[in-house]
Amino acid sequence: MKKLFTIAKKEYMRVVRRKGFIISTILSPLIMAGFVFLPNQLMKIAEEKQKVIAVVDDSGFIFDRLEESLDRKLPTGERVYILERAKREDKERLIERIERNEIYAFLIIGKDILNTRFFEIYLKNVSDYKTIGEIEDKLSSAISSFSLLSKGINPDVVQEAIKKVNAVTIKVVKGKEKKTGIMGEFLFSIFMVSLLFGIILGYGQVIMNGVLEEKTNRIIEIMLSSVNSFKLMAGKIIGIGSAGLTQVIIWVLFAIFLFSSNLNIVSGVRPSIDKNLLLFFVLFFVLGYLMYASFFAAVGAIAGNIQEAQQMMTPITYMIVIPYIIGIGFSSSPNSTPMVILSIFPLFTPILMLMRMTYVFPPLWQVYLSIALLIGTTFLIILATSKIFRTGILLYGKRPSFSEILRWIKY
């Protein structure tokens, strides 16, 4: 055991001392947080200026209503939108004024706007969806109001009747209420599963490349003179996996701080964080990593070069990617029969069962059954891959066939 832990410590220190590890550990959560929160914050702090908008109103009833409803103010107290009347024959001149930045945009509203329900807007920045959307909303309200009044119906009564209802989501966890946001639950679920997905795939490839490099450089022969193949494989898996777990713990602590703090970076994003869920996350990470890392170690032992290794790891990558896609697809029905069956399937369990837990915690018998099957499968896979590793690590030249690999496992 001493030699195993010596190898594990060596592999751990080799990974964590790399500049790439330190940089990715610090920058990755910051970049992820930036992708989630920065666009919203930039929209809030973006400097907004007064916008002059010319309106060609052939209908004769839109301009006044639109001017009255577009009443949003700047921090200075001035109106954001200044409307001015224009005529259709002024179109060319209005385009020139947009080019000279004298006006921000101009609208052309046809006579039959009540029937067609569309208008034209000319502006430089067609990606300014905020301005366009605001004008669309206010114009729709103006048309609806006019249409109702023309039929003798009070628009205020109708608006009161159709006022939107907003849901305040309260998650029930073990008989207790937890106020949470729908977007927060989804983002936190995707964050945790993406973390598991990325670490297993990334560090599995680190093991594969390390084994392949030592094999091609004949370093592995020297190492096998002082330690058996199983301890060598186990030491590499444990050491590199511990480095991955270190990184995961740092990232999860950062995520907990980000989602649990009172920063209010994005309204409705804060999820309910269950401590038991974090424990299951660590458990599934360890078991999932051991299972898939064994596959990657075997690929590194069998392959003769990096090109062969990349081809052979493709099926393993699919086994990790497929449950990730399935989990997102079944987010609205995590307890459906297909999702339950697939989440108990050992190769899919680490990702799918964790995703189910973040949506709605499944019955305990399903959780324990999936863990038991996962532990059993992981043990068998480690046993089989250790035999493949023992023979393949000293094999050079021609890549073994599938039947030869099966014979190694039977020895």
Question: Got the DSSP string for 188-232?
Answer: HHHHHHHHHHHHHHHHHHHHHHHHHHHHHTTHHHHHHTTS-HHHH
Q: Write down all domains in the chain, each with its CATH number in brackets.
A: 2-38+181-410 (no CATH), 49-161 (3.40.190.10)
What pLDDT does residue 83 have?
92
- Average pLDDT in the 322-335 region? 81
Average per-residue pLDDT for the chain: 78
Higher local confidence (pLDDT), 39 or 21: 21
Higher local confidence (pLDDT), 212 or 288: 288
Report d(CA 54, CA 83) in Å as an integer.
Answer: 6
Confidence of residue 158 (pLDDT cuts 50, 70, 90): low
Confidence of residue 323 (pLDDT cuts 50, 70, 90): confident
Higher local confidence (pLDDT), 343 or 255: 343
Higher local confidence (pLDDT), 256 or 26: 26
409, pLDDT greater than 60: yes
Report d(CA 118, CA 140) in Å as an integer.
Answer: 9
Higher local confidence (pLDDT), 289 or 171: 289
Judge whether 392 and 214 are in contact, CB under 8 Å. no
What pLDDT does residue 268 have?
46
pLDDT per residue as tens digits for the range 347-383? 999 888 888 887 778 888 999 999 999 999 888 888 8
Tell me the two tokens of residue 124.
């430089």
Q: For residue 169, with 0-12 CB atoms within 10 Å meaning exposed, 13-18 middle and 19 or more buried, which class applies?
A: middle
- Average pLDDT in the 230-256 region? 80
What pLDDT does residue 177 have?
56
Residue with tokens 């729709």: 140
- Average pLDDT in the 246-260 region? 75
Report d(CA 260, CA 271) in Å as an integer.
Answer: 8
Higher local confidence (pLDDT), 45 or 124: 124
Tell me the two tokens of residue 69.
């409803």
SS3 53: strand
pLDDT > 70: percent of the chain: 80
> Of 410, 181, 206, 388, which is closest to residue 302 (Cα–Cα)?
388
Lowest mean pLDDT of 159-163, 202-206, 367-371, name the range. Answer: 159-163
**Alpha helices, DSSP H only, in 330-401?**
337-344, 349-359, 364-392
Q: What is the dihedral of CA 208, 213, 215, 221, to 10 degrees?
A: -120
> Of 338, 315, 318, which is closest to residue 327 (Cα–Cα)?
338
- Average pLDDT in the 257-276 region? 56
SS3 379: helix
19, pLDDT greater than 50: yes
State the distance between the two ends of the chain, measured CA to CA, in whole angstroms: 24
pLDDT per residue as tens digits for the range 56-88? 988 888 888 888 888 888 878 888 899 999 988
What pLDDT does residue 397 have?
63
Beta bridge partners of 73: 79
| Max CA pair span of the chain | 96
- Average pLDDT in the 212-232 region? 73
- Average pLDDT in the 342-348 region? 91
Q: Rounded to whole angstroms, what are the CA distances from 71 to 83, 116, 252, 260?
A: 11, 26, 44, 36
